[in-house]
Amino acid sequence: MTLQISWALLLPALIPVAAMLLVLVVDAVVPRASLAAPVIGALGLLGGAVAAVPGLDAGDPRLTLCTPAPDGRCMWDGSPLASTLQIAALLATLGVLALMSWRKAGVVDVVMLLASASGAVAVVAATDLGTWLIALELATLPVIALVAWRDRRAAAHGALTLLTTSLVSFGLLVLGAALWVTATGDPTLTGPSLATAWAVPEQRVLASLATVVLIAGLAFKISAVPFHAWTPTTLTSGPLPISALLASASKIAAVGALLVVLAPYESVLDLSPGPHTVVAALVIVTVASMLTGTVMALRQTEVVRLLAWSTIAQAGWVLLPLTALSVAGRQAAAIYVLVYAVASLVAFAAVRAIHGQHVEDGRELTAYKGLLRRDPIAGGTLAVALLVLAGLPPGIIGLVAKVMTIRPVVDAGLWPVAVVAVVAAVLGIAVYVRWFAVMFGDPDASAPKRPGRRRASVAVAVAGTAVLVVTSVLPQVLLGLVS
């Protein structure tokens, strides 16, 4: 059996891999070229993003790795939605590389970032379970190494926590994949195979169980309750750039993987009986994440821990439209995770710009008193990120994203879930406004002084803020990318 391959569709994943190999070769030949690794890594990430651009405006299906007809299956889907997520993951990783600073990002750092980026690119497009599983772990395991790649006991503890949960997650994912193949007889995540299995009661139950198990496995990676325990520990103990990676590119990869799992359910949504078990599982995780994450974030006074609990709350918002199991729901989830990823990257970059290399020190909210007066650039970018996360003007794109996540839920008749989302949105405003209000006070004499060598962090914060401002003024730009 031969595969029909379109190499152009695979380039977004292959270019970072090629850059990773080139970094290793250059380091072996010229070990003293310290700037070679980050430069090659940046070019690889940019090249992968450019290669994914043609998929943004593709009218026809962009499929590759296809087996011959009549029973052919395609194992790679370069749709506009997948291409958008690929570009976002690659650019977010580029921002994290910049946060590491060009002079301090070593060969190991760059190689791990490139490996994780290639996995993130692959998992959002892969539709066969083998590639999907491998790509998902490739997007995860290098990040664990990066968390531990620091001579701090707390960082090692955070990495061990993440590794343990990742192993449990992988076990659930493998079990879910096995159940899916047993139920459908198909190793690909496609609608026709699910629709065929849905007609047989025993296979329907098994397919629903497979999906619930896969959702549980991915909930670990999305930081959804009750699979969230690793998030505050890992994000607060690891290097801040890697915490930014976990909150941006890694979340995009995990959400993209979940979209691949739920896409087949469009073919059985109108059948009787419907996929009620899958909807119930999504609703439970969604409501628990939004409420738990928001309430716990309200109690935090340390800013990175606050952002960690915010990640858990935002995971609920990403999952919210997916409860509808519709195309509109998947598009809304993709838009929300993109907005959240950019806002989180800006917030982490601003925190790093404020504190410098020793970002573990003085991260209490009180250290941000009067920030808008003593550091207008870092304070201004952080303020925009917080307003977007809260969904308040002028962060209009945050409000647009929240409205878009609620609309598919209302259309599906899940009114109680929509009401809970509105309550969570109101509570969430207090989380970010509390931090925002502190920055308007009078500067404190004990506040941290403006650090040196912060140009990269400021550049990332400013670039991300520009994206948030443009999409707030022209939200249709973002909406058109995933449709």
Position 136 in a domain? no
Position 55 in a domain? no
Q: How many CB atoms lie within 10 A of CB 242?
A: 30
Position 201 in a domain? no
In order along its 483 residues, the chain shows pLDDT tens digits of 577 888 889 999 999 999 999 999 998 888 877 788 899 999 999 999 999 999 887 667 788 888 887 667 888 988 899 999 999 999 999 999 999 876 567 888 899 999 999 999 999 999 999 999 999 999 999 999 888 876 566 677 788 888 899 999 999 999 999 999 999 998 999 888 999 999 999 999 999 999 999 999 999 999 999 999 899 988 888 888 999 999 999 999 999 999 999 999 988 888 888 899 999 999 999 999 999 999 999 998 899 999 999 999 999 999 999 999 999 999 999 999 999 999 999 999 999 888 876 555 557 888 888 888 888 898 999 999 999 999 888 889 999 999 999 999 999 889 999 999 999 999 999 999 999 888 887 776 656 566 656 788 899 999 999 999 999 988 888 877 776
Contact 118, 11 (CB under 8 A): no
What pLDDT shows up at residue 131? 92
What pLDDT shows up at residue 70? 67
What pLDDT shows up at residue 320? 96
Supply 174's token pair. Answer: 């493998």
Position 342 in a domain? yes
Position 395 in a domain? yes
What pLDDT shows up at residue 150? 62
What pLDDT shows up at residue 358? 56
Structural domains in the chain (count): 1
In tens, the pLDDT along 149-179 reads 765 666 777 888 888 999 999 999 999 999 9
| Angle at alpha carbon of residue 426, lines to 423 and 431, rounded to 5° | 125
Position 77 in a domain? no
Position 261 in a domain? no
> What string of H, E and C letters represents the secondary structure of the chain?
CCCECCHHHHHHHHHHHHHHHHHHHHHHHCCCCCCHHHHHHHHHHHHHHHHHHHHHHCCCCCEEEECCCCCCCEEEECCHHHHHHHHHHHHHHHHHHHHCCCCCCCHHHHHHHHHHHHHHHHHCCECEHHHHHHHHHHHHHHHHHHHHCCCCHHHHHHHHHHHHHHHHHHHHHHHHHHHHHHHHCCCECCHHHHHHHHCCHHHHHHHHHHHHHHHHHHHHHHCCCCCCCHHHHHHHHCCHHHHHHHHCHHHHHHHHHHHHHHHHHHHCCCCCCCCHHHHHHHHHHHHHHHHHHHHHHHCCCEHHHHHHHHHHHHHHHHHHHHHHCCHHHHHHHHHHHHHHHHHHHHHHHHHHHHHCCCCCCCCEHHHHCCHHHHCHHHHHHHHHHHHHHHCCCCCHHHHHHHHHHHHHHHHCCCHHHHHHHHHHHHHHHHHHHHHHHHCCCCCCCCCCCCCCCCHHHHHHHHHHHHHHHHHHHCHHHHHHHCC
Q: Containing domain of residue 324, as a range?
A: 276-483
What pLDDT shows up at residue 220? 93
Of the chain, the percentage scoring pLDDT greater than 70 comes to 93
What pLDDT shows up at residue 280? 95
Position 26 in a domain? no
